[in-house]
Amino acid sequence: MDATAREAQSGLEWRVTVPEGASVTVEYESGLAGRAWAWLVSCVAVLGAKVSGFAKKVWKIGADDPRRAVHSLKVGLALTLVSVFYYTRPLYDGVGGAAMWAIMTVVVVFEYTVGGSVYKGFNRAVATASAGLLGLGVSWVASKSGDKLEPIITTGSLFLLAAAATFSRFIPTVKARFDYGVTIFILTYSLVAVSGYRVDELLALAQQRLVTVAIGIFICLAVTVLVWPVWAGQELHLLTVRNMEKLADSIEACVDDYFAADAEEEEKRDPKASKSEGYKCVLNSKASEDSQRNLARWEPAHGKFGFRHPYGQYPKLGAAMRHCAYCVETLHSCVGAEVQAPEHVKQLLSDVCTRLGAQCARVLKEASRSIAAMTVSRELDLAVAEMGTAVHELQGDLRDLPFSLAKEPGEASLIDAMPLFTMASLLTEISARIEAVVEAVDTMASVAGFKQPEDDDEKKGDAELKLKVHPVNESDSDEPPENNRSKATV
């Protein structure tokens, strides 16, 4: 019944296909014209399919993040504003004049995030002003030093300054904060030095250009801040929070997949594949973290982010998370490995490993919630302590494994359990690296001044949590949790 329905469906699909159908019907008409027509129809159909495929892809880009479409409209708006501003001015003097610089400024300065626009605007303004002043000074000196020396001074200073400024871009601090400014500095100085204008003409020109650039920057910043602003700091914050959640889900899913019985394996693995591979996002996020951090420091205070919000902590937190993700990557390949421990051996550690995986995920999720809310989490320390307990339980079970195996029916060598040992070691190492992540979160909480939590009693289910956690804390006292936090334990 199901098969026939599918056949009927696929038959329908085939009948819809335009190019083939068209070529079949026109085969009766003889001659070149008919074939050409068929070819044309099939070409149009293929082109139409390609265009609609492309349109769908483009639509998806916009639908995935509507702020992209908004950003495009914002650029259009800023450009329209600046052009209308210059259109309506009585002193309008064509493309060679002031309007050009304002338009150029808007096109080049407008960036996706507020931080990006501020960075470029600041760099452009400062570089234009300083290079203009320097150029004026050198022009003045050159004009006083005679017709013969003048071109030598002008060209020589251009060569030296351009070379020095270009070289300064290789200094990491300059690269990170003033890269665009250096370009504009060289550009402005070249224009002033080579202009050949007299100094008094230059002064007027420089003043006009500065005002125009300022107007362009002002329009950019107004549009970027007032119309649905995208803050680089907030993006960085969200990226970090999201990555931490993905890492948590990934660890839990990996452990669950590992101990899922082989029979259920196929059904279980597919829907979870995306979850257990979440660590990949963490592995690849360094570049975007660094660039967003560089832009975020230009942003004024906004929302929960103060003026001196420690954006520098995010890449450190990201590094700790990546350190953890490297290990999760190895764990993930254990799940898909060909050589596995026998199922009944796996079952011996299944409970304790699953518990540890869940505790690891709980710690990361709690840390992620704490960062998301910018609030110190009371539960975080408890979760870390419980994770430490789970590690001890795992180590205890591992120590008992030879005796457990001996009790099992059939012949189970300890060597068969080797892949399981690897899995357990990796899980232990992951929990140690999660503690490093928690330390980074603690540092961020103290540096960024996270809020103290409100009265916990309001929170749902907190009372039960405390009851569950208390005995764990006591049993942990013979092995202080500080010890767990110290170092890798693989």
Q: Least Å distance between CB 423 and a copy of itself?
A: 9
Q: Least Å distance between CB 194 and a copy of itself?
A: 4
Cβ closer to a copy of itself: 294 or 370? 294
How large is the angle between the packed helices 286-296 and 313-335, nearest 10 degrees? 170
The answer to whether the beta carbons of residues 209 and 103 sit under 8 Å apart is: no
Cβ closer to a copy of itself: 28 or 170? 170
Q: Least Å distance between CB 96 and a copy of itself?
A: 4
The answer to whether the beta carbons of residues 320 and 440 sit under 8 Å apart is: yes
Cβ closer to a copy of itself: 309 or 322? 322
Which candidate, 157, 129, 130, places its Cα nearest to that of 141? 157
Q: What is the largest CA-CA distance in the chain?
A: 104
Cβ closer to a copy of itself: 75 or 380? 75
Q: Least Å distance between CB 446 and a copy of itself?
A: 27
| Own/partner pairs, 21-28, CB within 8 angstroms, 24+ separation | none
Instruction: Measure CA 294 to chain center.
Output: 13
Cβ closer to a copy of itself: 325 or 380? 325
Cβ closer to a copy of itself: 162 or 225? 162
How large is the angle between the packed helices 66-87 and 199-226, nearest 10 degrees? 140
Q: Least Å distance between CB 65 and a copy of itself?
A: 8
Q: Least Å distance between CB 444 and a copy of itself?
A: 22
- Given the structure tokens 């690891």, which residue do they identify? 360
d(CA 140, CA 336): 73
Three-state SS for 212-274 is: HHHHHHHHHHHHHHHCCCCCHHHHHHHHHHHHHHHHHHHHHHHHHHHHCCHHHHHHHHHHHHH
Q: How many residues does the chain have?
A: 490
Cβ closer to a copy of itself: 101 or 311? 101
Cβ closer to a copy of itself: 272 or 322? 322
Q: Least Å distance between CB 336 and a copy of itself?
A: 6
65 is written with which tokens?
A: 């993040």
Question: What number of CA atoms fall less than 13 Å from residue 474's CA on the CB side?
Answer: 5
Q: Least Å distance between CB 234 and a copy of itself?
A: 19
Cβ closer to a copy of itself: 71 or 272? 71
- Given the structure tokens 């202080």, which residue do they identify? 480
CB atoms under 10 Å from CB of 65, counted, come to 11
d(CA 212, CA 216): 6
Q: Least Å distance between CB 31 and a copy of itself?
A: 40
